């Protein structure tokens, strides 16, 4: 429950509906209590074959007679006391005190009878004229009343459920929107560590638990305790002494619920974490479907899924077991509480007494019908308790979900934009890596990865086209990923036009850095939507020009609906090379001052690649370009101005193709390797 206050900002706009739900809960509870009290006249009519009119009249007469007797006794007591006073008897003597005590008790009994006379007098005047005299007709009338009240209660419960359902859906929508907003503000590294499965499970499974918690909290959690209260109120009114006896169990119940609550919350959190793992397996399987089918390895993924599900199942069963044990235990406590009142009550009815061992438990000798009413009301108290026991696990699952969701919402981005930073003019001078070191974060605090970049120094003048080459895993992509601040260096700094990159407004920086990766990301929509992604205000002519420069225009024109052709989720209706060229057109349209091409043409055929290089030769003019390519072709060397060689996170050589062939054995080896697989980030000065 401690986590629910976090939801208040999202619930606030719907507070009126929450209030309405509360009011409805009160009415429902009142109807519930009233329905139970109907048991009393029904028992009277059925068991004692007494008309209700007779019963009311008899009760008034009995109360009057008893009052007269009691008044006589009271007068006698008063006389005795006066006699004691006259005889100057010690007021602390046992005799005097006992007389005083008796007098007070009689006074209280007189008040009770007067109260009964008043209430039954009111019944006789206001209600009995409507009650049939015939026993059977009265019985039918009572049943009709019961059905009417139950129907009304049903309508109100429906209304309350609809209201709270609306509040729950709207609140979860608000939380999901906020979660997405915060997720999009987070840095790439934190998001990568969380992974798509962790995010998706928060948006789906956890958010559903949240919704179920709000529905429960606003519906049953209001209704059922109020029903309990209504029953308790009736029971207290009817016989407060016996009712208090049964309430002795409340502290025990509280202790039990709090222990159960913490166990459930812990178990639920583990269950949700486990669900994230299932999402992960599913995501990997679906994303890598081609590989799974191609390698005929579905069995492996089935096994992985089964393994993860077995873990989830174990954790879910723990929740089920705690939940399952809660209900009977709660019921047992409830029955025990009921018996605490009923056993002495039954004793008093059977013996015709009002006290046990001198402790007065009833104001008058109870009859069977009164004990029946007490039983009905206490049993009525048990039903909401039982229902509450079933909502308890749901609430605990919800609090675990709230904790998980808000942990993400509260997470601070590792990359922030400096406050009040001066705008960044278009890059025009240089980009400099000064003693830059970087290490990827481990999944947990304990594992520390080795440095991916180690004391890198590199200065690139504006307009240069730099190719970065090196064996797999030497840190090429990591180096260029620092430019749009996907990550920040752990040591050293990067300067753009002599200003530390961290001092530049993040938005300005990212607008100036255009990135095209090997894993082209396209979105569900048309070709046009994908090319103008992030540059909404461009004209159709500009769009076509960008497509032409990326050598994708003829391809687009050959599509069934040209630019309007829908390319499916992630652009899966296009080939890898076509997707890369669309991504290139998108980047060309953005007109960035700093260009990062990380194996951006790896999927293009040799002819297309040469054509793209030709286009890039023009495009790189007036910007600084970083390029990684695994093949060094003549067309690439034509516009690269400098080649930088990396190994094990460090820059080991820098120069022209010819110089490096002569002086750098690594470059020589890479260039002359049979596959000519070079890791290149090429830079060439615009011709």
Contact residues for ligand ATP, defined by CB under 6 A: 192, 440, 449, 452, 470, 472-478, 679
Nearest to ligand ATP of 36, 474 (CB atom): 474
Q: How many beta carbons lie within 10 A of that of residue 403, not counting itself?
A: 17
Q: How far apart are CA 211 and CA 609, in angstroms?
A: 52
Give the pair of three-digit tokens for residue 147.
Answer: 């059905």
CA 506 vs CA 190, 410, 430, 591: distances in Å = 17, 21, 18, 17
Q: How many whole angstroms separate alpha carbon 149 and alpha carbon 157?
A: 12
In the bound complex, what is the minimum distance in angstroms from residue 192's beta carbon to ligand ATP? 5
Closer CB to ligand ATP, 425 or 473, in the complex: 473
Number of alpha carbons in the 13 Å side-chain half-sphere of residue 417: 16
Greatest distance between any 2 Cα atoms in the chain: 134
Output the smallest distance, CB 319 to ligand ATP, in A: 33
**Can you state the percent helix, strand and coil of the chain, rounding each to 5?**
65, 10, 25
Minimum CB distance to ligand ATP smaller for 560 or for 674: 674
Of 58 and 287, nearer to ligand ATP (C-beta) is: 287
- Looking at the Cβ atoms of 277 and 477, the one nearer to ligand ATP is 477
Nearer Cβ to ligand ATP (107/192):
192
Nearer to ligand ATP by Cβ, of 141 and 491: the residue is 491
**615's tokens:** 């286009």
From the CB of 660, what's the least distance to ligand ATP, in Å?
17
C-alpha distances in Å from residue 31, one per residue of 20, 38, 40, 122, 383: 17, 11, 15, 21, 14
Contact 531, 585 (CB under 8 A): yes
Output 334 or 475, the one with its CB closest to ligand ATP: 475
Q: How far apart are CA 175 and CA 163, in angstroms?
A: 18
Distance of closest approach, residue 485 Cβ to ligand ATP, in angstroms = 15
- Shortest distance (Å) from residue 473 CB to ligand ATP: 4
CB of 438 to ligand ATP, least distance (A): 9
Q: How far is the CB of 154 from ligand ATP (least distance, A)?
A: 57
What gap in Å lies between CA 336 and CA 26, rounded to an integer?
27
Cα–Cα distance for residue pair 462/686, rounded to 1 Å:
10
The strands making up 430-438's β-sheet, listed across from edge to edge, are 453-461, 430-438, 491-496, 499-500
Q: Considering just the CA atoms, what is the radius of gyration of the chain in Å?
A: 41
Nearest distance from C-beta of residue 584 to ligand ATP, angstroms? 19
Minimum distance from CB of 169 to ligand ATP (Å)?
37
3-state DSSP assignment of residue 71: helix
- What is the distance between the alpha carbons of residues 65 and 582, in angstroms, rounded to a whole number? 101
We find the least distance from the C-beta atom of residue 330 to ligand ATP, in angstroms, to be 49
Closest approach of ligand ATP to the CB of residue 449, in Å: 6
The nearer residue to ligand ATP, 334 or 679, going by C-beta atoms, is 679
Give SS3 for 406.
helix
Give the Cα separation of 76 and 74 in Å (integer): 5
What angle is formed at CA 633 by the lines to CA 630 and CA 638, rounded to 5 degrees?
120
Q: Nearer to ligand ATP by C-beta: 474 or 509?
A: 474
Vertex 514 angle, CA 511 and 520, to 5° = 125
């Amino acid at each position: 429950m401690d986590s629910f206050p976090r939801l208040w900002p999202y619930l606030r706009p719907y507070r009126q509906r929450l209030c309405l739900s509360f009011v409805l809960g009160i009415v429902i509870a009142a109807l519930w209590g009233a329905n139970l009290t109907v048991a009393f006249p029904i028992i009277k009519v059925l068991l004692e074959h007494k008309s209700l009119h007779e019963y009311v009249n008899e009760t008034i007469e009995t109360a009057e007679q008893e009052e007269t007797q009691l008044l006589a006794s009271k007068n006698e007591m008063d006389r005795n006391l006066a006699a004691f006073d006259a005889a100057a008897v010690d007021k602390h003597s046992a005799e005097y005190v006992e007389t005083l005590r008796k007098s007070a008790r009689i006074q209280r009994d007189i008040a009770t009878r007067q109260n009964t006379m008043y209430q039954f007098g009111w019944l006789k005047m206001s209600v009995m004229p409507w009650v049939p005299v015939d026993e059977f007709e009265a019985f039918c009338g009572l049943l009709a009343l019961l059905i009417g009240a139950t129907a009304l209660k049903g309508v109100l419960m429906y209304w309350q459920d609809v209201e709270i359902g609306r509040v729950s859906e709207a609140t979860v929508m608000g939380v999901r929107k906020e979660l997405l907003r915060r997720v999009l503000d987070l840095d790439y590294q934190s998001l990568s560590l969380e992974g798509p499965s962790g995010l998706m499970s928060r948006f789906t499974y956890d958010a559903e638990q949240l919704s179920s918690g709000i529905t429960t909290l606003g519906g049953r959690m209001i209704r059922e305790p109020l029903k309990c209260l209504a029953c308790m109120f009736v029971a207290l009114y009817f016989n407060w002494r016996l009712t208090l006896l049964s309430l002795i169990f409340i502290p025990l119940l509280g202790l039990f619920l709090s222990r159960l609550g913490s166990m459930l919350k812990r178990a639920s959190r583990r269950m949700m974490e486990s669900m994230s793992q299932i999402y992960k397996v599913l995501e990997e399987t679906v994303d890598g479907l081609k590989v799974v089918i191609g390698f005929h390895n579905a069995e492996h993924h089935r096994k992985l899924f089964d393994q993860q599900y077995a873990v989830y199942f174990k954790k879910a069963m723990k929740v089920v077991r705690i939940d399952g044990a809660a209900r009977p235990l709660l019921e047992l406590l409830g029955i025990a509480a009921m018996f605490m009142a009923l056993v002495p009550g039954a004793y008093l009815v059977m013996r015709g007494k009002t006290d046990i061992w001198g402790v007065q438990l009833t104001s008058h000798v109870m009859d069977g019908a009164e004990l029946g009413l007490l039983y009905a009301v206490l049993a009525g108290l048990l039903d909401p308790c039982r229902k509450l026991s079933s909502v308890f696990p749901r609430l605990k699952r919800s609090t675990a979900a709230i904790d998980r969701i808000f942990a993400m919402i509260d997470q601070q981005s590792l990359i922030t934009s400096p406050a009040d930073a001066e705008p960044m003019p278009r890059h025009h001078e240089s980009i400099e890596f000064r003693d830059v070191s970087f290490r990827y974060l481990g999944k947990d605090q304990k594992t520390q990865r080795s440095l991916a970049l180690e004391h890198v120094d590199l200065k690139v003048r504006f307009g240069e086209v730099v190719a970065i080459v090196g064996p797999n895993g030497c840190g090429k992509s990591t180096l260029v990923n620092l430019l749009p601040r996907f990550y920040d260096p752990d040591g050293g700094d990067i300067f753009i036009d002599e200003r530390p990159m961290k001092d530049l407004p993040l938005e300005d920086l990212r607008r100036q850095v255009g990135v095209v990766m090997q894993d082209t990301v396209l979105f569900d929509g048309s070709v046009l939507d994908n090319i103008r992604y992030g540059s909404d205000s461009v004209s159709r002519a500009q769009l076509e020009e960008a497509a032409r420069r990326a050598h994708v225009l003829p391809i687009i024109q050959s599509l069934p609906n040209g630019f309007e052709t829908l390319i499916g989720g992630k652009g899966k209706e296009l080939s890898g090379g076509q997707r890369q060229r669309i991504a290139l057109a998108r980047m060309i349209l953005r007109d960035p001052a700093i260009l990062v091409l990380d194996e951006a043409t790896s999927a293009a055929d040799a002819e297309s690649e040469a054509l793209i290089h030709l286009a890039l030769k023009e495009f790189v003019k007036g910007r600084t370009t970083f390029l990684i390519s695994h093949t060094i072709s003549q067309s690439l060397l034509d516009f690269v101005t400098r080649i930088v060689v990396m190994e094990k996170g460090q820059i080991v050589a820098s120069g022209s193709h010819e110089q490096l062939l002569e002086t750098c054995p690594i470059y020589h080896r890479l260039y002359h390797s049979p596959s000519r697989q070079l890791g290149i980030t090429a830079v060439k000065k615009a011709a």
